A and B are shown apart, each in its own frame.
Chain A
Amino acid sequence: MVHEAVSPSQRLLEPKDLSFLQQVIGLYGNDPTKLLQILREVQEHLGFIPNPAVSFIAETLNIPRNRIESVASFYSFLHLKSQGTYRVLFSDNITDRMLGSQALMERMCQQLWLQPGKVSEDGLVSIGTTSCTGMCDQGPAMLVNERAITKLTHQRIQEIGQLIRNRTPLSDWPADFFQVEDNIQRAGLLLGNTLTYGETLQAGIALGGAAIVEEVKRSGLRGRGGAGYPTGLKWEACRNAQGKEHYVVCNADEGEPGTFKDRVLLTRQADLVFEGMTLCALAVGAKKGFLYLRGEYRYLLDHLLGVLQRRRDSDLLGHDILGIKGFDFDIEIHLGAGAYICGEESALIESLEGERGVPRNRPPFPVTHGYLQQPTALDNVETFCQAAMAIHMGADKYSAIGTAKSTGSKLISVSGDCPRPGIYEYQFGVSVQEILNDCGAVNTRAVQISGPSGICIGEHEFSRKLGFEDLPTAGAFMVFDDSRDMFEVARNFVHFFAHESCGFCTPCRVGTSMLKQTMDKIAAGQGTHYDLAEVENLDHVLQTTSHCGLGRTACNPVLHTLKHFRPAYESRLKSLSFKPAFDLDGALARARQMTGRDDAGAHLKENE
C-alpha cells in the first residue's frame, strides 16, 4: 500500500492501477452515465479515488474533472482522499446507540489510538459513523470497507482491532462477522408463498400487458415505499406515456432508519422481486430494468447477480422470454454509495444516470420523464413482490385482504426495545398493540412508525392501526421502553436529517443544520424557551418550502416528541427565555484541548 510520503489525495497510479481503470471504464462502455458505478468500483479497488485517477477517468470519458469531484463528493462512501486501508463506520441509528454502539466506538478508538473521523498517521485505519445500515434487528452494526458486520460486542470489537493491526485482509476475517440473519418472525401471504420461479410470469403472459394493469388497479395495491401511490395507476400512466423507450426501476435504497424488510426480501424472495419487475415490464412495455441497491447492501450483489443469471438461463429474462416473440427484458443492478436521499424517486434516477442524487423539479414526474427523460415505472422492492402476488391470486382475492383502502399485507421491520426484533408480515389494519404483543415488548413508552420521517406515537395511541387510513408506514417500527429518553431519540433523528440533506434547497440545507445546532444546544443545557419557539419557526419553513420529502419531514421527530414528551425537553431548558447561541466558555474548549488544561482557571465563570 502506498500511503507514506505522498499527500492523501495524491496516491500515484501504478501501471496495474491504470490498466484496472481502463478495464473498469471499458466494462461500463465508456459511458458517462455509468460514472457512479465506475467510481464505486475504483473506490472498492483502490480504497479511495486519488487525484490522478480523477484526471484519468475525466480524460477517458471526456467529461470535465470537476464533474467527477462533484459526483464523488456527494456520496458518503466515495472518498477523494485516503480514509485508511480499513475504513470503519459504526451505524449510528438510535437503535444502535440503545445497544451500546457509542461505547463500542469509543473503545475501538482507544484501542487503535484514534480520534473519530481522523485517519491514523500510518494511513492504516479511520473510524467514523454512518446512517442506519439496515441491520437494526441485529445491531449494533458497522461497515468495514463497505462490508456489513453485525452483532457487535466488546469482544468482537477487540478482535476486529487486532485484525486491523495485523493488516489481515478483509477476505480472511471470520465469516461469522459478516453473517446477516433474516429474522423472519411472522410470515403471511408474501413470505409464506410457495410459488415456483416463473409461475406468476406465466399468469401475467396469459393476461397480457393491458390486463395486468387492470388487475393491479383492481387489486387496490398501493406503493410500499412510503407515499402509498396506487401502483396500477402508476403503471397505467407509464404504459400510456410516449417515449423512445420505457424503463422499470426497483427502489432498493432502503435508507429510512429502522427499515430492513427489503434486505430480507432481496435475500429470500429475489425471484419474486424480479418477477414483479418483469410483470411490470410487460405491463408498461419496457425492455430494460434497473435495481438500485443501497451501498450498505453490497454484500447481496453476488447473490442477486446469481439469481439474475439463473433467470436468464431459465428463459425468464433476456430475449423472447418464455418463448414469447418480442418479449425482451433484462435487469441491471446499480449500487448506491451512501446517500439516503437517493431513495427519493427522482434523486434515485439522477443517481442511476451517474449524477449527484439531487431530487428533480417536479412535474414532470418519472412516469413520463424518468430515466434518461423516458417513461419510467419506479417502485419499491416490496411493491413489486406484492404486485406479483396480486397477479398470482387475482385482484378479487387480493383486495379482500387487509382493509378497504389498504389491501394486502405489509412487512414490518421491528427493532428497538423488544426481545424478538425482526420481520413481521401482517394484513393491513393490524394495531400497534398487537405488534408490540407479538414481539414481546413490555413497558413501551413510544413507537416510531415509518422511521424518522414518519410519526412517533405514545402509549395512549397504541390501539391505532397500520394502513393508509390511519398510520401509513414504509415498514419501520422502532420500539422505545420507559427507560429511554425521547429527547435523545429526536436528537439522533435530527442529526440524521442534517447529515443526509442533499443541500440543494435553502430551507433544508440550512434549516436541518440549524435544527441540529438547536437540539445540541438544548442537550448541552444551554437551551431556552426561545429555542423551542425557533424549532416551530424552522418547522414551518421546512414544511412549506422544502424541495422534497426529506426537508418537509425533517422537523417531525422534534414536533412529535415535543407533543408527547415535552418534559424531556423542558427539564433541560435554562429558566431564562433567551440565551445567546454563542457560548464563550464552550468556544475556549479547543484552546483547553490544545493546551491540555481543564482546571477551573481554564473555564469562564457562568455569568447570566
Chain B
Amino acid sequence: MEFPVSDTFQLDGKPVVFETGQTVMQAALAAGHYIPHLCYHPEFKPHGSCKLCTVKVNGRTAASCTMPAEAGLEVESDIDELNALRRTLVQMLFAEGNHFCPSCEKSGNCVLQALGYDLEVHSAGFRHQFPDRPLDASHPDILLDFNRCILCELCVNASAEVDGKHVFALAGRGNSKHLIVNAESGLLKDTNIALTDKAMSVCPVGVIIKKGVGFSTPIGERRYDQRPISQQALDDAPRPPSGEAHD
C-alpha cells in the first residue's frame, strides 16, 4: 500500500507507522497492535466516550481512538496503571446497567463481556445501580433491552449515516441519559427500522436483539468464546468501509 505521508510513533516501545489523518488507535490496529476499545468501531467516526482506550501520550492520558497520530509520540498502553483504569471503567459500565450475562442472548458475542474477561475483571467493584429500564418488545421482529445499553451511539450513527433513517437517538443528561427511538409513540414498532439495517448489527452489547434466533449459536461456540477479543479485534481493524459487520 502507498501511504501519502507516513511517519512513526512509539507504542509501548515499538515503532508504529501511520498515515496522516489516522488516530493512534487506527494506526495501532492497522499495524497489528491491540489497544482495548469499546465504543470505537473501525467503520465509524470515533466517538470517544467509553474511555477504555485511554493511553498515555508523552506522559499524559488521552483517548487513543480520538487522539491524532503524530510523529515521535511516546504512547504507553499495555501497562498496569492503564489496565487498572480500564478494569475500573468496565466495572462502572457493568454497575451502571443491568447485565445478567448468563441470561443474555449476546453472551459470548458481547464486547463488554469479552473485555471483562480479557482485562481480568473478577469482581463487581462497585455497588450496582439497578436502573429501571423497561424493555421495548413492541416490534414483531426486534427486541430492545435497554438494560444493557452503554450509550456508545454506534446504533445512532449507523442508522443515520448508513441506513439514512435516524431510528435511534440519545436523550437525557448525566446518569439519566438513555436511548430513544424515532416515533411519536416512543415505540420501535412505529419506526421504519428493518432487519437488514446496519443499526441492527453494530451494538457491541445486547440491546438490539433479533427475535426468534436467540440461542442459534450455542454459548461456547460464539465469537469471543473462540478467540479473545484482543486477537479478534485485530482481524476487524483494517477493513474497508463496506466490510463485513459484527454480529
Residue of B93, B151, B169, B183 with most chain A CB atoms under a 10 A cut-off: B169
Q: CA–CA, A547 to B181, complex, Å? A: 26
- Chain A contacts for B46, CB-based, 8 A: 361
Assess the A510–B127 pair: CB atoms within 8 A: no
Q: In the complex, what residue of chain A is closest to B185 when comparing beta carbons?
A: A51
Kindly state whether residue B29 has any CB partner on chain A within 8 Å: no
**Residues of A536-592 contacting chain B, CB below 8 A:** 537, 540-541, 544-547, 581-582
Picked from B51, B129, B150, the residue with its CB within 8 Å of the CB of A545 is B51
- Chain A contacts for B177, CB-based, 8 A: 503, 509
Kindly state whether residue A298 has any CB partner on chain B within 8 Å: no
Q: CA–CA, A582 to B128, complex, Å? A: 10
- Chain B contacts for A462, CB-based, 8 A: none
In the complex, per-residue mask of A510-524: 1 if CB is within 8 Å of any chain B CB, else 0: 111110010000000
Kindly state whether residue A162 has any CB partner on chain B within 8 Å: no
Q: CA–CA, A517 to B127, complex, Å? A: 10
Kindly state whether residue A502 has any CB partner on chain B within 8 Å: yes
Q: A65-B182, A66-B181, A503-B151 are in contact. Are A361 and B66 (CB under 8 A)?
A: yes
Kindly state whether residue B50 has any CB partner on chain A within 8 Å: yes
Q: A506-B50, A541-B85, A547-B51 are in contact. Are A512 and B92 (CB under 8 A)?
A: no
Q: A66-B169, A502-B173 are in contact. Are A510 and B180 (CB under 8 A)?
A: no
Stretch at the interface among A67-75, A117-125, A195-203, A471-479: A67-75
Assess the B61–A545 pair: CB atoms within 8 A: yes
Q: A503-B175, A544-B61 are in contact. Are A51 and B184 (CB under 8 A)?
A: yes
Residue of B61, B92, B166, B175 with most chain A CB atoms under a 10 A cut-off: B175
Picked from A55, A67, A498, A546, the residue with its CB within 8 Å of the CB of B175 is A498
In the complex, per-residue mask of A482-510: 1 if CB is within 8 Å of any chain B CB, else 0: 00000000000000001111111111011
Q: In the complex, what residue of chain A is closest to B91 when comparing beta carbons?
A: A510
- Chain A contacts for B68, CB-based, 8 A: 363
Kindly state whether residue B8 has any CB partner on chain A within 8 Å: no
Q: A67-B169, A70-B170 are in contact. Are A510 and B184 (CB under 8 A)?
A: no
Assess the A64–B182 pair: CB atoms within 8 A: yes
Assess the B92–A511 pair: CB atoms within 8 A: yes
Kindly state whether residue A339 has any CB partner on chain B within 8 Å: yes
Q: In the complex, what residue of chain B is closest to A75 when comparing beta carbons?
A: B173
Assess the A507–B89 pair: CB atoms within 8 A: yes
Q: In the complex, what residue of chain A is closest to B182 when comparing beta carbons?
A: A66
Kindly state whether residue B96 has any CB partner on chain A within 8 Å: yes
- Chain A contacts for B61, CB-based, 8 A: 544-545
Picked from B92, B166, B169, B171, the residue with its CB within 8 Å of the CB of A506 is B92
Determine how close the nearest CB of chain A comes to the CB of B245; give it in whole angstroms. 23
Picked from A66, A503, A512, the residue with its CB within 8 Å of the CB of B180 is A66
Q: CA–CA, A541 to B170, complex, Å? A: 24
Assess the B174–A501 pair: CB atoms within 8 A: yes
Determine how close the nearest CB of chain A comes to the CB of B175; give it in whole angstroms. 4
Picked from B48, B96, B129, B183, the residue with its CB within 8 Å of the CB of A547 is B48
Picked from A55, A67, A499, A517, the residue with its CB within 8 Å of the CB of B174 is A499
A-B contact count (CB 8 A): 118
Determine how close the nearest CB of chain A comes to the CB of B158; give it in whole angstroms. 14
Q: A66-B169, A66-B181, A69-B180 are in contact. Are A513 and B175 (CB under 8 A)?
A: yes
- Chain B contacts for A65, CB-based, 8 A: 182-184
Picked from A66, A74, A505, A507, the residue with its CB within 8 Å of the CB of B173 is A74
Q: CA–CA, A501 to B92, complex, Å? A: 15
**Residues of A328-353 contacting chain B, CB below 8 A:** 339
Assess the B174–A70 pair: CB atoms within 8 A: no
| Count of interface residues, chain B, beta-carbon cutoff 8 Å | 39
Q: CA–CA, A507 to B95, complex, Å? A: 12
Kindly state whether residue B54 has any CB partner on chain A within 8 Å: yes
- Chain B contacts for A505, CB-based, 8 A: 48-51
Determine how close the nearest CB of chain B comes to the CB of A354; give it in whole angstroms. 14
Determine how close the nearest CB of chain A comes to the CB of B170; give it in whole angstroms. 6
Kindly state whether residue B9 has any CB partner on chain A within 8 Å: no
Kindly state whether residue B117 has any CB partner on chain A within 8 Å: no
Kindly state whether residue B240 has any CB partner on chain A within 8 Å: no
Q: CA–CA, A506 to B51, complex, Å? A: 7
Q: CA–CA, A473 to B129, complex, Å? A: 36
Assess the B171–A69 pair: CB atoms within 8 A: yes
Q: A66-B166, A66-B181, A361-B48 are in contact. Are A73 and B127 (CB under 8 A)?
A: no
Picked from B50, B89, B171, the residue with its CB within 8 Å of the CB of A73 is B171
Determine how close the nearest CB of chain B comes to the CB of A173; give it in whole angstroms. 30
Kindly state whether residue B18 has any CB partner on chain A within 8 Å: no
Picked from B48, B96, B170, B181, the residue with its CB within 8 Å of the CB of A510 is B96
Assess the A510–B54 pair: CB atoms within 8 A: no
Q: CA–CA, A503 to B96, complex, Å? A: 12
Q: CA–CA, A361 to B68, complex, Å? A: 11
- Chain B contacts for A356, CB-based, 8 A: 170, 173
Assess the A544–B85 pair: CB atoms within 8 A: yes
Kindly state whether residue B126 has any CB partner on chain A within 8 Å: yes
Q: In the complex, what residue of chain B is closest to A52 when comparing beta carbons?
A: B184
Q: CA–CA, A581 to B66, complex, Å? A: 36
In the complex, per-residue mask of B160-180: 1 if CB is within 8 Å of any chain A CB, else 0: 000000101111111111001
In the complex, per-residue mask of B14-32: 1 if CB is within 8 Å of any chain A CB, else 0: 0000000000000000000
Q: CA–CA, A537 to B174, complex, Å? A: 20
- Chain A contacts for B176, CB-based, 8 A: 503
Assess the B169–A504 pair: CB atoms within 8 A: no
Q: In the complex, what residue of chain B is closest to A74 when comparing beta carbons?
A: B173
Q: In the complex, what residue of chain B is closest to A69 when comparing beta carbons?
A: B171
Picked from B66, B175, B181, the residue with its CB within 8 Å of the CB of A509 is B175
In the complex, per-residue mask of A34-56: 1 if CB is within 8 Å of any chain B CB, else 0: 00000000000000000100110
Kindly state whether residue B88 has any CB partner on chain A within 8 Å: yes
Q: A509-B175, A510-B96 are in contact. Are A66 and B88 (CB under 8 A)?
A: no
Assess the A70–B93 pair: CB atoms within 8 A: no
Determine how close the nearest CB of chain A comes to the CB of B115; give it in whole angstroms. 12
- Chain B contacts for A361, CB-based, 8 A: 46, 48, 63, 66
- Chain A contacts for B52, CB-based, 8 A: 506
Assess the A544–B54 pair: CB atoms within 8 A: yes
Assess the B174–A73 pair: CB atoms within 8 A: no
Assess the B174–A503 pair: CB atoms within 8 A: yes
Q: CA–CA, A507 to B180, complex, Å? A: 22
In the complex, per-residue mask of A409-451: 1 if CB is within 8 Å of any chain B CB, else 0: 0000000000000000000000000000000000000000000
In the complex, per-residue mask of B120-157: 1 if CB is within 8 Å of any chain A CB, else 0: 00000011010000000000000000000011000000
Picked from B50, B92, B173, B183, the residue with its CB within 8 Å of the CB of A514 is B92
Picked from A74, A511, A534, A547, the residue with its CB within 8 Å of the CB of B49 is A547
Assess the B49–A506 pair: CB atoms within 8 A: yes
Q: A498-B175, A502-B174 are in contact. Are A541 and B89 (CB under 8 A)?
A: yes
Q: CA–CA, A547 to B52, complex, Å? A: 12
Q: CA–CA, A55 to B185, complex, Å? A: 11
Q: CA–CA, A247 to B48, complex, Å? A: 26
Q: In the complex, what residue of chain B is closest to A64 when comparing beta carbons?
A: B166
A-B contact pairs, 22 of them (CB 8 A): A51-B184, A64-B169, A66-B166, A66-B181, A69-B171, A70-B169, A73-B172, A74-B173, A361-B66, A502-B173, A502-B174, A505-B48, A505-B49, A505-B50, A506-B49, A507-B51, A509-B177, A534-B126, A541-B85, A541-B88, A545-B85, A547-B48
Where the two chains meet, the residues of B that have a C-beta atom closer than 8 Å to any C-beta of A are: 46, 48-52, 54, 61, 63, 66, 68, 85, 88-89, 92-93, 95-96, 126-127, 129, 150-151, 166, 168-177, 180-184
Shortest beta-carbon contacts, A-B, top 8? A503-B177, A581-B127, A64-B166, A66-B169, A510-B92, A66-B182, A73-B171, A361-B66
Known: A75-B173, A361-B48, A506-B89. 14 other contacts (CB 8 A): A66-B168, A67-B166, A69-B171, A70-B169, A74-B173, A500-B174, A503-B176, A509-B174, A509-B177, A514-B92, A534-B126, A544-B61, A545-B61, A546-B51
